[in-house]
Amino acid sequence: MSNLTYIKAAYMFDSLDGTFKQGPVVTVENDRIVNVRFGVSSLPDNGKIIELKGCTLLPGFIDAHDHLALSPQLKNYPSIMADPDPVLLMRSIINMKTDLYAGVTTSRCLGDRNFLDLYLKDAVNQGLIEGPRIYTCTRGLKASHAHGFVGTPFDGVEAMRAAVRENIKRGADFIKIFVTGNFRQSPWLPYYLSPQEIFTIAEEAHRVGKKVAAHCIGGEGLDQCIEQGVDIIEHAYYATDAQIERLLKKDRWVVFTPSNNFNDARWANVSEKAVNEMRVNREEVLNSQKKVLNSGVKFAIGTDATHGAVAEDVIFVVNTMGGTIAHALQGISKSAAELCEMSQLIGSITEGKKADIVAVTGVVEKDIEALRNVCFVMKDGITVRNSL
């Protein structure tokens, strides 16, 4: 049975060409966008009309770096990742609903324990719980002595090979590894996977058409990621000029996660020692991130599980890192969809794509901070939030 909805607003962000257009009317049938027109004076009476006066339409947000069970809004959030799986599952359900209501219709999950993300993905697909569509790596792979409190430890080339194969067998969309720690405490920046392990992981993933993403903030570990075939660098806080040049030359991706270093509300929930480790190198991190942004390296933007706050990361990329509004918005739409290999389904308000649509009150083209004012969220043609 056909189900038509007409969404009318003041402005729309066209993520494909990075422009803003006036007077959009988006026709939705069931879970798809049928057409997009502009300056339409009258609408048919054969469907539901949603009028969003004074609002800007945007493609459903894609959080390019999320963890479903990680809960930075809670005290001592790193340590409580050791809680039992049922507790983590319940937190995940709350986190996913928070993300969805903030406009995130697709979540690129960078690792959760014991395949919890796959159970959650199935639950969302079956309509049992509310949440973004999930594109996931399943377990994040780490060495036993390494950073990664959301990761699963394996040691040695063959153990890593077996872990990659199991992740893929269980349904991983891509593979995630933890190569470095999260902060630099001295000029030396250690890394925890051997070149042989990184190469083997990439070899196994690429053999079946899967990309590899690495938690890597810089140092020799970043050199090894580039050399051994890692496709996506998550964070890249301390990337040097030479490393940025190699990332660009080899057509690799970087995912920016500003909250991890610059969101003080997030860091209010950890120890003073951890906060000091984060703050000491803020200026260096910011300078490096600006260089990556300005280099032309392909990028997307993620919250690193700062649930409900994707707008803050985009605003940071514009107001503090110096990105353009259009380029930053593409980091949670068109570019993020490409990163997730889902451009045919999501990432733009385009005929034939999934009806994932967000509206914010205000003129985003003139003021990126209007992105905080999410008033309408549609996912798969279903309105999950309308506060107008």
**Closest residue by Cα to residue 329 from 364, 353, 304:** 364
Q: Which domains does the chain have, with CATH numbers?
A: 4-60+348-386 (2.30.40.10), 61-339 (3.20.20.140)
Instruction: State the DSSP string of 79-136.
Output: GGGGS-HHHHHHHHHHHHHHHHHTTEEEEEE---GGGHHHHHHHHHHTTSS---EEEE
- Distance from chain centroid for Cα 183: 21
DSSP-based three-state secondary structure for 237? coil
Interatomic CA distance for residues 34 and 32, integer angstroms: 6
Token pair belonging to 54 = 């004074």
Is a pLDDT exceeding 90 seen at residue 41? Answer: no
Neighbours of 71 (CB within 10 A): 21
Q: Which pLDDT belongs to residue 263?
A: 87
Quick one: pLDDT at residue 169?
98
pLDDT of residue 2: 65
Q: What is residue 323's DSSP assignment?
A: -
**Structure confidence by residue, pLDDT tens digits, 248-302:** 999 999 999 999 889 888 878 877 777 777 777 899 999 999 999 999 999 999 9
Dig out the tokens for 185 from the structure. 């405490």
Measured from the Cβ of residue 22, the count of other Cβ atoms closer than 10 Å reads 11
Query: Is there a contact between 352 and 361 (Cβ–Cβ < 8 Å)?
Result: no
Q: Which of 56-60, 81-85, 243-247, 339-343 is the least confident region?
A: 81-85
% of the chain exceeding 70 in pLDDT: 99
Q: Which residues of 96-135 are buried (b: 16+ CB within 10 A; e: fewer)?
A: bbbbbebbbbbbbbbbbbebbbbebbebbeeeeebbbbbb
Given a cut of 60, whether residue 1 has pLDDT beyond it is no
User: What is the band of 149 on the pLDDT scale with cuts at 50, 70, 90?
Assistant: confident
Confidence bin at 95 (pLDDT 50/70/90): very high
With cut-offs at 50, 70 and 90, classify the pLDDT of residue 147.
Answer: confident
Residue 175: what pLDDT?
A: 98
With a cut of 80, say whether residue 367 has pLDDT above it.
yes
Alpha helix locations (H) across the chain?
85-101, 116-125, 157-170, 195-207, 219-228, 241-249, 259-262, 264-267, 272-279, 282-295, 310-319, 325-330, 334-339
pLDDT at position 280 = 79
- The predicted pLDDT at position 124 comes to 98
Average pLDDT of the residues in 173-181: 97
281-293 burial code (b ≥16 CB/10 A, e <16): beeebbebbebbb
pLDDT band of 141, cuts 50, 70, 90:
very high
| Count of alpha carbons within 13 angstroms of residue 90, beta-carbon side | 4
Torsion of CA 112, 117, 118, 120, to 10 degrees: 160
Residues 6+ apart with CB under 8 A from 160: 141, 154, 193, 197, 200, 201
What number of residues does the chain have?
388
CA 34 to chain centre: 27
Average pLDDT across the chain, whole number: 95
